[in-house]
A = this chain, B = another copy of it.
Amino acid sequence: MLIVMNRNATQEDLDRVIKTILVHGWEPKPIPGGERTAIGILRNQGAVDPAIFLGMSGVRDAIPVSKPYKLVSREMHPENTTVSVGDGSVVIGGEKLVIMAGPCAVESEARAMEIAHAVKEAGASIFRGGAFKPRTSPYSFQGLGIKGLEILARVREETGLLIVTEATDHEVLDLVEEYADIIQIGTRNMQNYRLLLRAGQAKKPVMLKRGMWATVDEFLMAAEYIMSEGNSQVILCERGIRTFTRHSRNTLDLNAVPYIRNESHLPIVVDPSHASGRRDQVIPLARASAAVGVDGLIVEVHTAPEQALSDGPQSLPPAEFEKLVNGLRAMNIMV
């Protein structure tokens, strides 16, 4: 934190700021300049809230300098983290782009199996599908629950695909940890701290989706919560942010990818289905993400999108999904 004083700040103003810094147990470091004085803050653990100083007499600005996260930071851990999934047959953060695909929600075993075979054939190595669904409306389909998890387990057994599925609260996580190969935390739960702490105690990798409102710093702090409990197998997932635009449900933030690469050692995947909410934008955004160099894609696929019980409209039919994967290969992306 750097406290910037007004040009006409008095000595008392300065003293008051210095005293406040000392009260918090930090070390003040005055930096006299040509026009005004600034005061650096040292020896703080974690972030200092600028607002502590913003209202004080003689203070012009309070500017955060250091980042609040540690464990997720590349500075602390320069090499890339790779996440080994299931039996280790799939590695996220390695040389290959990992493709996770499947329906938004698990609806029935027959349907799930049909989709799983189709996406495996096309090149996916992980099957996605929600058993517990967070739904905006209390009147919508809420998922099959534990029965859905059992279907996912049978899909894995029959197809060899590994499984990623969402845990919607800390109790559901107990179940999901038992069945899934990757535990997903959804965008609405990015700051559900009880859930994050529980995920930090899990023995399985966690895929954390960015909150649609979250800055990258907040996103990394949420990952820090998980890592702070001991689980370092965290996969970050960019899935679009909320902006003023009207032509898509969200706006995919690909600027975030090189920024995160620089700040953090954790692998990053993109969800082009939720980043658009529209079937006709999924393939373009998947291609864009692959070109940027993400470690994986998670894509909604359904054999009968128009009958899907949730999010059908953003699901690709298998033929489109196959086209997507072949298109990536044509770009010389290793899938």
Determine whether the beta carbon of A255 is less than 8 Å from that of B275: yes
A224 on interface, CB distance cutoff 8 Å:
yes
Determine whether the beta carbon of A137 is less than 8 Å from that of B68: yes
Determine whether the beta carbon of B49 is less than 8 Å from that of A313: yes
Number of A residues near B (Cβ < 8 Å) is: 111
What's the Cα separation between A145 and B235 when bound, in Å?
31
Residues of B within 8 A of A281 (CB): 255, 258-259
Per-residue CB contact flags for chain A residues 31-69 toward chain B (1 = under 8 Å, else 0) read 101111010101101110111111100001101111110
What's the Cα separation between A330 and B290 when bound, in Å?
13
Those of A172-215 within 8 Å (CB) of chain B: 188-189, 191-194, 197, 211-213, 215
Per-residue CB contact flags for chain A residues 146-164 toward chain B (1 = under 8 Å, else 0) read 0000000000000000000
Determine whether the beta carbon of B20 is less than 8 Å from that of A306: yes
Stretch at the interface among A92-100, A106-114, A242-250: A242-250
Residues of B within 8 A of A292 (CB): 284-285, 287-288
Residues of B within 8 A of A251 (CB): 241, 243, 251, 253, 255
Determine whether the beta carbon of A46 is less than 8 Å from that of B139: yes
- Expressed in whole angstroms, the minimum distance between the Cβ of A146 and any Cβ of chain B is 15
- Expressed in whole angstroms, the minimum distance between the Cβ of A297 and any Cβ of chain B is 12
For A211, the closest partner residue in chain B by CB is B213
A7 on interface, CB distance cutoff 8 Å:
yes
Since A55-B279, A251-B253 are in contact, a sample of 6 more A-B pairs with Cβ atoms closer than 8 Å, ordered by chain A residue number, is A31-B31, A47-B137, A51-B249, A134-B193, A241-B243, A259-B281
5 interchain pairs, CB-CB under 8 A: A33-B42, A45-B139, A46-B137, A46-B140, A52-B313
The 3 closest A-B pairs by CB, nearest first: A51-B313, A213-B213, A291-B291
